[in-house]
Amino acid sequence: MLRKELINQIESKKSLICVGLDTDISKLPNHLPKDINGMLQFNKEIIESTKDFAVSYKINTAFYEQYGTKGWACMEETLSYIPDNCFKIADAKRGDIGNTSKMYAKAFFDTLAFDAITVAPYMGEDSLKPFFEFDNKWVICLGLTSNQGSKDFQTLQFDEKPLYEHVLTKVSEWGTPENLMFVTGATKAKTLASIREILPNHFFLVPGVGAQGGTVLDVCENAKTSFGGLLINASRSILYASSGEDFAEKAKEECQRLQQDCF
């Protein structure tokens, strides 16, 4: 998906919401089978109920990979349910030596036809370069994450700046605002303002809204731009808004509530 197409969707839907499909079979509503078939039915109903309020969907591949070939088939079919006008993210956090990254890129951009993939930058430029070689595809690089352990490395000071700032600045040289986004956690909302100053033209994928405590209003206040500039991810708060047969309707209500805070 081209940048202008993503921006058009944001403007059309008045939304910055990305629904995270981190589907946990053990948390499926009681009326659905606790297996791959139940997982697929759940995903289908979640997508159908939220597609008018979400501009993006993020599939966390680990929740599917754990089931082997059946899980991969479920992920592929789930991907087919997502409307073409929605931005499709493979949350796979890949990054390895060049020839290996090339195979990862082919898997998620050619075979599975995602629009974007999350990557880890620790191994440097040659580990990410293969992902940038695909037209109309996006690299979403870990920047400042929302988990507790982010302070172990990401906020360590070097040359009077935290490590994550060095990462953001360096990686921004490898791509452009047309094909590169950064993961910046919603639980670090106040820091988002300073990151936005460093990267005024890039999109940010922002996890941590909902169950992790971040809010759409805080994220928008600190990092929203004239073109939107954000994909604000919510997973558990939408997926598990209800454990009953009304789960899809409650997911829709939660997604719409978050969407209304975007503009």
Compute how many other C-beta atoms are within 10 angstroms of the C-beta atom of residue 33.
12
The position carrying tokens 């999350």 is 118
Angle among Cα 219, 231, 46 to the nearest 5 degrees reads 115
Query: Catalytic: 70?
Result: no
* DSSP single-letter state for residue 209: B
Tell me if residue 166 falls in helix, strand or coil: helix
Phi, psi of 203 (to 5 degrees): -80, 150
User: Terminal CA-to-CA distance of the chain, rounded, Å?
Assistant: 23
**Distance, CA of 153 to CA of 144 (rounded, Å):** 10
| Residue tagged active-site, from 70, 93, 102, 250 | 93
Phi, psi of 60 (to 5 degrees): -80, 110
- Residue type at position 167: V
The position carrying tokens 């006008």 is 85
CA–chain centroid gap for 183, Å, is 8
Burial of 8 (0-12, 13-18, 19+ CB in 10 A): middle
Supply the DSSP string of 97-123, one letter for each residue: SHHHHHHHHIIIIIIS--SEEEE--TT
The set of catalytic residues is 93
